[in-house]
Amino acid sequence: MSVIPFQPELRPALPTVFGAKDYREFRSILESADRILTTTGLESRLVSEKIAAIGEALSGRRKQRHYKTLQAALRYGILLAITGLSHRKLSCTVPDSALFQWFTHAASVDGVRPASKSTVERFEKMFSTEEITRLIHDINRAVADTAGARQLLYRETALHMDEIFADTTCVKANIHFPIDWVLLRDSARTLIKSILVIRKQGLKHRIGTPEKFLNQMNKLCMEMTHSRKKKDGAKARKRVFRRMKKLAKIIEGHARNYYSLLETHWEQTDWTELETQVVLDRISRILHQLPQAIHQAHERIIGERRVDNAEKILSLYEPDLHVIVRGKAGAEVEFGNGLYLAEQSEGLIVDWSFMQEQPPSDGKLALGSVRRLTAEYGTPASYTGDRGFDSSVNRVELESIGIFNAICPRSVSLLKEKLEDPDFCLLQKRRGSTEARIAIFKNAYLGKPLRSKGFKNRHLRIEWCILAHNLWKLARMAVQQREKLGQELAKTG
């Protein structure tokens, strides 16, 4: 492990707080999480390797500056996931919280140096998904060792990774409904705002007042919303949509004119070539999808025909979203990306997969997960899942590997046979907690909905949330075990 050749700065001690039980519990867990990161040396190793990867001959002062920045990035990323705060709110909360200052190393003897909103956002992207994945597995392996469990969790037995409980879910996207005429509203807003930005740079084309198009589109949206309540609602929707489609094409024409104007005369603006390209890409992305969006809305509203899921535009800004048929109460169909999670018996997430493409059936995910788990922790003793994971291939493969198959079978006769096995019944009973684990992870960590934009950023956010979840879980175990040992000592003393 690389060693940083400088003395870490001293952190001011946290103030003594009386009462406020909830705060004291939260603080104890955060202190324990800090202890896990530092005691294992994993934080130092991750940051040191990141500095070494820069590939430059850095002075001691520059190494120290890089180390402090990367350490703060790791701590802020964990806090973002634990608290569920936005970048802006966290940047405002850290200066006002002695606990958060202490955890992020923002406080020093001469004052507090918190990060701004933009810096917090940059912090979140400083580590790759691969680096965070490796850190998660390293922390899991640290407590799977008896010596590590004694040092970190104050317990004599290590955490076991041999019983695996798996399930899948849908990470819902932050999109607008319904996905027909609302796409025309979204396109109008993006194009008109881009036109306004270009006009502020002094490049103008005949258009009149651009804001009037937004006003007209908003009025049409309100008419479309209220047309459902009318007696001839279907005809009213069609009339409003025809006007909306005509307005969208007018806005499209103006956007093309301003695109050409900016592309030709961008040197007359205050923008760099890169900044200009950002605006051009924003316009071209909408113009490229607008004809299909109009066609999709026309088919659904005018033609009253269904559009195949493969041909649907769910969002003008998120191309990697899918229609996922869940078939559950209150969620027959969901829009987003599939997420596979596997936990061990005490609730640590040990394997996961966030899918960019249309997710396959659950049965096709099991064996890939077993291979990843074997590579990280050794061959598991059992694998448990619901009926969706059952298949003849999985049954044969798990048996050949020597893993106890606790997947609930689809066949009624086979299920009756399995129910005679007490081990199967016990594991299936424990599997119910996996449903709760997924609900906790989605609601308490990811948020409803996940607001990160772009698949790459959503994937990175999920990695941060898994790291924060496992770290919080282990820290809470350590706090509870330490309190238990303290009570036992008080009784014997």
CB 170 within 8 A of CB 338: yes
DSSP three-state, residue 16: coil
In this predicted structure, the answer to whether residue 233 has a pLDDT above a threshold of 50 is yes
Residues contacting residue 451 through CB under 8 Å, at least 6 positions apart: 174
Burial class (CB in 10 A: 0-12, 13-18, 19+), 228: exposed
For 131-138, what is the mean pLDDT?
97
pLDDT at 4: 52
For 102-109, what is the mean pLDDT?
88
Residues contacting residue 95 through CB under 8 Å, at least 6 positions apart: 101, 106, 112, 114
Give the 3-state secondary structure of 235-271: HHHHHHHHHHHHHHHHHHHHHHHHHHHHHHHHHHCCC
For 348-375, what is the mean pLDDT?
96
Share of the chain above pLDDT 70, in %: 97
For 373-383, what is the mean pLDDT?
96
Question: pLDDT by residue (tens digit) across 11-28?
Answer: 888 888 887 889 999 999
Q: Mean pLDDT lowest for which of 107-116, 213-222, 399-408?
A: 107-116
Q: What is the DSSP letter of 169?
A: E
For 460-480, what is the mean pLDDT?
97
What rounded mean pLDDT belongs to the chain?
A: 92
pLDDT at 1: 43
For 87-105, what is the mean pLDDT?
94
pLDDT at 118: 95
Question: pLDDT by residue (tens digit) across 37-72?
Answer: 999 999 999 999 998 887 777 787 888 889 999 999
Q: Rounded distance, CA 405 to CA 364, Å?
A: 15
In this predicted structure, the answer to whether residue 134 has a pLDDT above a threshold of 50 is yes
Pairing assessment for the beta strands 107-108 and 111-112 based on DSSP bridges:
antiparallel
> Per-residue confidence at 447, pLDDT binned at 50, 70, 90?
confident
> Per-residue confidence at 85, pLDDT binned at 50, 70, 90?
very high
For 78-96, what is the mean pLDDT?
94
Distances (CA, A) of 470 to 309, 434, 459: 36, 14, 17
Q: Mean pLDDT lowest for which of 135-139, 154-158, 185-189, 448-452?
A: 448-452
Question: pLDDT by residue (tens digit) across 281-326?
Answer: 999 999 999 999 999 999 999 999 999 988 899 999 999 999 988 7
Q: What are the residue boundaries of the structural domains of the chain, listed by start? A: 21-127, 160-174+319-451, 181-311
Residue 288 — left, alpha, or beta (φ > 0 → left; ψ -120 to 50 → alpha)?
alpha
Q: Rounded distance, CA 210 to CA 215, Å?
A: 9
For 227-231, what is the mean pLDDT?
83
Distances (CA, A) of 465 to 22, 133, 272, 421: 22, 11, 36, 36
In this predicted structure, the answer to whether residue 125 has a pLDDT above a threshold of 60 is yes
- State which fold the 160-174+319-451 domain adopts: Nucleotidyltransferase; domain 5 (3.30.420)
Residue given tokens 């996922």 in the structure block: 324
